[in-house]
Amino acid sequence: MKLPITLTLTALLGTAPMLMSQVIVETDAYRWAGDSIVQGEYTARAVSPHHIQSTYHARPGYYMGIKPEWRLKNDISAYPQLETPNTLHRAVYNMGLDEMVNAVEPDTTLRTGAAWGGVWTRDVSYSIILSMAYMQPEASKVSLMRKVDPMGRIIQDTGSGGAWPVSTDRIIWAVAAYEVYKATGDRDWLEYIYNVIKKSLDADIAVNHDTATGLVRGETSFIDWREQSHPRWMQTADIAGTETLSTSAVHSRALAVLSEIASELGHKDEASFYAARSKTIANAINRHLWMPDKGYYAMYLYGGDNLILNPRAETLGESLAILWDIAPADRARTITAYNPTTPFGVAIFYPQIPDMPAYHNNSLWPWVASYWALANAKAGNEQGALEAFGSVMRPAALFCTNKENFVLDNGDIATELNSSNMLWCLAGNIALTHKMLFGINFEPDGLSFSPFVPEALGETRTLRGFKYGDATLDITVSGYGNKIKSFKVNGKEHSPFIARGTKGKLDITIEMADNKPEPIGVNHVANRKTLMTPIAAMTDNTLSWNPIYDATSYIVLRDGVKVDTVTTITYDASVPGEYQVIALDADGIETFASQPCSNRPTVMIEMPGATTVMTSAEVIYPADGQIKGYTGSGFVETDHSTGTLDIPVTVPADGSYVVKIRYANGNGSVYTGNSAAVRTLAVDGKRAGTIVMPHRGEGNWNEWGNSSSVTLHLDKGTHLISLSLEPENENMNIKTNHALIDALILIEK
Kindly report the CATH number assigned to the domain that includes residue 304: 1.50.10.10
Domain boundary pick from 285, 303, 328:
328
The C-alpha atoms of residue 213 and residue 460 are separated, in whole angstroms, by 49
Q: How many CB atoms lie within 10 A of CB 437?
A: 25
In a domain, 50, yes or no: no
- Do 551 and 621 belong together in one domain? no
pLDDT of residue 13: 31
The C-alpha atoms of residue 69 and residue 67 are separated, in whole angstroms, by 7
- Do 156 and 245 belong together in one domain? yes
pLDDT of residue 19: 43
- Do 546 and 651 belong together in one domain? no
CB distance 150 to 165 below 8 Å:
no
pLDDT of residue 333: 98
In a domain, 586, yes or no: yes
Instruction: Report long-range pairs for 371-374 (Cβ below 8 Å, ≥24 apart).
Output: 371/126, 371/130, 371/315, 371/316, 371/319, 371/320, 371/323, 371/428, 372/315, 372/318, 372/319, 372/339, 372/345, 372/346, 373/432, 373/436, 374/319, 374/323, 374/431, 374/432, 374/435, 374/436
Phi (first) and psi of residue 653, to 5 degrees = -160, 160
Domain boundary pick from 591, 610, 627:
591
Domain boundary pick from 294, 310, 328:
328
Using CA atoms, how far residue 718 sits from 604, 648, 652, 681, 693, in Å, is 15, 7, 9, 16, 25
Cα torsion angle, 65, 71, 77, 80, sign = positive
- Do 632 and 682 belong together in one domain? yes
pLDDT of residue 4: 47
Type of residue numbered 464: R
Tallying the residues shown for the chain, one arrives at 749
Phi (first) and psi of residue 367, to 5 degrees = -65, -35
E strand residue ranges, 469-531: 471-478, 484-489, 492-493, 497-499, 504-512
- Do 203 and 313 belong together in one domain? yes
pLDDT of residue 623: 56
- Do 167 and 271 belong together in one domain? yes
- Do 587 and 675 belong together in one domain? no
- Do 558 and 657 belong together in one domain? no
Q: What share of the chain is helix, strand, coil (3-state, %, to 5)?
A: 25, 30, 45
In a domain, 502, yes or no: no
In a domain, 106, yes or no: no
- Do 574 and 620 belong together in one domain? no
In a domain, 378, yes or no: no
pLDDT of residue 17: 38
CATH number at residue 708: 2.60.120.260
- Do 633 and 580 belong together in one domain? no
* Tens digits of residue pLDDT in 461-517: 999 999 999 999 999 999 999 999 999 999 999 999 999 999 999 999 999 999 999
pLDDT of residue 362: 97
In a domain, 401, yes or no: no
Using CB atoms within 10 A of its CB, is residue 222 exposed (0-12), middle (13-18) or buried (19+)?
A: buried
Q: Are strands 677-683 and 717-724 parallel, antiparallel or unpaired?
A: antiparallel
| CA angle centred on 611, ends 610 and 617, rounded to 5° | 125
In a domain, 546, yes or no: yes
In a domain, 407, yes or no: no
Using CB atoms within 10 A of its CB, is residue 331 exposed (0-12), middle (13-18) or buried (19+)?
A: buried
Number of domains in the chain: 3
Type of residue numbered 148: V
Residue 575 belongs to domain spanning: 536-591
Residues of the chain falling short of pLDDT 50: 1-20, 610-618, 620
The C-alpha atoms of residue 234 and residue 468 are separated, in whole angstroms, by 48
Cα torsion angle, 578, 582, 588, 589, sign = negative
- Do 199 and 279 belong together in one domain? yes
pLDDT of residue 66: 62
The C-alpha atoms of residue 434 and residue 737 are separated, in whole angstroms, by 45
**Nearest Cα to Cα of residue 549 among 497, 516, 519, 586:** 586
pLDDT of residue 58: 73
Phi (first) and psi of residue 87, to 5 degrees = -65, -35
pLDDT of residue 624: 61
- Do 579 and 609 belong together in one domain? no
**Nearest Cα to Cα of residue 522 among 326, 719, 388:** 388
Radius of gyration over alpha carbons of the chain, in Å? Answer: 27
pLDDT of residue 18: 40
**Nearest Cα to Cα of residue 383 among 1, 86, 3:** 3
